[in-house]
Amino acid sequence: METKVVRIPPDRVEEHEEELALAAEIIKRGGLVAFPTETVYGLGANALDEKAAEKIYAAKGRPSDNPLIIHIADKSDYSKYCEIENAEGFKRLTDAFVPGPITIIEKKKSIIPDTVTAGMDTVAVRFPSHPVARRLIELSGVPIAAPSANTSGRPSPTRASHVIEDMMGKVDMIIDSGESDVGLESTIVLIKEGELTLLRPGGITPIELEEVWGKIKLDKAVTEKLSPDEKPLAPGMKYRHYAPSAQVVLLRGEDSRVRDFMKRALEKEETGVICYEEDGFEESERVKIIGSREDKSEMAHRLFDILRYFDALEKISIIYARLPDSDGVGLALANRLIKASGYTVSEV
Ligand code: TXA
Ligand code: MG
């Protein structure tokens, strides 16, 4: 398949109505369009068209038991696709965070095909804030089902070049809008029986959620490795996602010991290191600085690009990274790193 790549900067949407209309036409006709959002790039198809949704699973090589998020561009659309439970709490949540990097799961309405929800009786809905995503959804006139636009098992794409790496020849169009703002996938919450449960941490933090909702619950899969007979509430959390091809090992320990360990490890040519600015290493081919330890948003923004960078560097077989503390966005950052490492944390 021929893939058309178009460039639409986020602040130039009005000048690109024609390309966006073409993208919307592809969606309406049952094709695939990779598009930017404020979290990561998404791989979109008409969420009301079962055949189109099937193409998403095929292009990603995604297991069919892993449901998709549907994207809308108007708050009143939530009630078209799901049963709003706890309307008062739902309103507080959407007033505070929507449009933005949050996905809300509630009971689904029958208009959403089972292929999209992988047979679950709930549906995940997100209203992204990215201007290109919003305009594309508006022009399509349908909700857009979109997982992250990576091949299943690879780190999510935060630049169009990442999407091109994974999806060239497999989709009809890729919209290049530069770097994703947040850099980690959306915060996913489930509203059920009056309770709010965090299924996947993201840019919106547990504290921010609790300020709006009150006490929330954390699905066990957010912080712990589940045993083979346990199921996470979000099926995708069980996969060794976000994984580069080299082994990632997370280091925990006193700063000076971690630095010494990294220094020694770097003597071997097959070692890569992901460190903080404060660690005092010079950035080089095998040393990537993820940001200041004080700035977790910056680290979130850079993580997947760094993992993909090391992926492309064939000689690297082991990557040592710092395990950040779990404050704020740190919970999401630590969650992605822990999964990339397959739960290997080393005390040094
Ligand atoms: O930021 C994001 O959420 C990006 C952009 C493109 O919007 N999308 C994204 O989609 O990360 P994906 O498919 O890579 O991750 C969706 C996660 C999966 O872990 C899936 O299992 C879970 O959401 N999910 C989807 N529908 C669900 C449902 N009805 N119940 C529980 N989990 C669900
Ligand atoms: Mg994904």
Give residue 26's pLDDT. Answer: 98
Distance CA 52, CA 54 (A): 5
Note the pLDDT tens digit of each residue in 70-103.
999 999 999 999 999 999 999 999 999 999 999 9
Q: How many angstroms separate the alpha carbon of residue 246 from the centre of ligand 1? A: 25
Residue 75 tokens, joined: 């708050």
Note the pLDDT tens digit of each residue in 263-299.
999 999 999 999 999 999 999 999 999 999 999 999 9
Whole-model pTM: value is 0.97
- Give the DSSP per-residue string, 106-150: EEEPTTS-HHHHTT-SEEEEE----HHHHHHHHHHTS-EE--BSS
- Ligand 1 atom closest to 41 (CA): 6
Average pLDDT of span 249-273: 97
Give residue 225's pLDDT. Answer: 87
Q: How many angstroms separate the alpha carbon of residue 105 from the centre of ligand 2? A: 16
Closest residue by Cα to atom 31, ligand 1, is 234
Give residue 133's pLDDT. Answer: 98
Residue 18 tokens, joined: 């024609």
Ligand 1: which residues within 6 Å by Cβ?
37, 39-40, 42, 66-69, 103, 105, 117, 120, 122-124, 126, 146-148, 185-186, 188, 199, 233-237
Closest residue by Cα to atom 19, ligand 1, is 236
Average pLDDT of span 25-47: 98
Distance CA 336, CA 162 (A): 17
- State the distance between the two ends of the chain, measured CA to CA, in whole angstroms: 49
3-state percent helix, strand, coil for the chain, nearest multiple of 5: 35, 20, 40
Distance CA 68, CA 53 (A): 9
